[in-house]
Amino acid sequence: MHSEKIALTQTVQKGGCAAKVAATELRRILQQVGFPATHPALLVDGRLFDDAAIYKINETVALVQTLDFFTPIVDTPKLFGEIAAANALSDVYAMGGKPVTAMGILAFPLAAMAEHIIVDVLQGASDKIAEAGANFVGGHSIDDDTLKFGLSVTGFVNPQQVWTNAGAKPGDHLILTKALGTGTLTAAIKRQQLREDDIMEALHSMAAINNAIDCMTPDLQAAVHAATDITGFGFSGHAMQLANASEVTLRIETGELPRFGKTFHCLEQAYLTKAHRTNAEYTAPHIEIASLDELHKLLIHDPQTSGGLLLSVAPEASRAMLQALHTRFKSAAIVGNVLPRQDRAVSFE
């Protein structure tokens, strides 16, 4: 038994996907960088803010490549490893692929933290990678002031069956697979207003891998016209990116958005992150939220860590899709539909 107990969230200023560089700042930086011309085999890159890159190997195999890491969002080391791994693996699932290898990215304060902490983080990640049927093949570590962990993940997908955020069609139904609220709930943990035991529903959700494709028959897989996962830019930001990439407008029935039991309580108590503000600023010119009350405005901007998939699905398949998803994602819900492009990218009603 290890006698030393440490609350990981108290060792960092920002945790999880809420620690992302704000989207407006990131875009400003990237616009100043001269990227090389893309190879013809590169089917998807970062231009439309997709979740991962797709590189075609041959007519039936393409690589899916992604990377994600962050600072602790929970206090328990093994749980942090599980959530960080599930979050990184999610980008491959969001492209319709399956992960095959994962490499760890680890920064760790050797002088300030006991070795067993990082052993637990790595074990949590290893267990989650194994659950996904992938291989933990190595990685890179540095001695740093604060703990950071994540994965670089490579997967495979059929190049004819790639999901991107650019394929949503008017008439499609929108399905969200996980509940919202991880940002405010974990902010309450960091402020020591809640304990992990108080938000087990959200912790289990964050640690759940987004392997939706194994729930689906080939026909259902083909009914997915566009997909993204909901992470640090909130439901509002990722929905906006999907709408803009697809050149459509998303109509969201905001009251249908699934949320965790304590989400509104924590938002009412103003357990917020910087990302609540920056997500609101990022999306303000592009979304319509005039009909929403303050709690629902905060909900859609809440930065998710290891959040759910947002799927744009052919309407005739949406009920069967939801039934299939419920075998693994109990909170999955139809939350809106796709319209031809209007003035705003997303209309919240």
Q: Is residue 120 within 8 Å of residue 2, measured between CB atoms? A: no
Verify whether residue 215 is a known catalytic residue: no
Q: Give Cα separations from 170 to 240, 246, 321, 342 (angstroms).
A: 15, 10, 18, 11
Nearest of 230, 250, 235, 238 to residue 344 by alpha carbon = 250
**Could you identify the residue written with the tokens 């990981």?**
8
194: which DSSP letter?
A: S
Which of 8, 12, 17, 209 is the catalytic position? 17
What is the Cα 336 distance to its own chain's centre?
Answer: 19
Amino acid type, 111: A
Alpha-carbon distance of 210 to 328, in angstroms, equals 9
Quote the tokens at residue 289: 């939220």
**Residue 146 burial (CB count, 10 A):** 16
* Cβ(54)–Cβ(64) below 8 Å: yes
* Residue length of the chain: 349
Residue 314 and residue 225 in contact, taking contact as beta carbons nearer than 8 Å: yes
Q: Which residues contact 5 (CB under 8 A, 6 or more apart)?
A: none
Cβ atoms of 87 and 231 closer than 8 Å: yes
- Tokens for 345? 């990218």
214 vs 348: CA distance, rounded Å: 31
Residue 91 in tokens: 């980008």
Q: Are 95 and 157 in contact (CB under 8 A)?
A: yes
Residues tagged active-site = 17
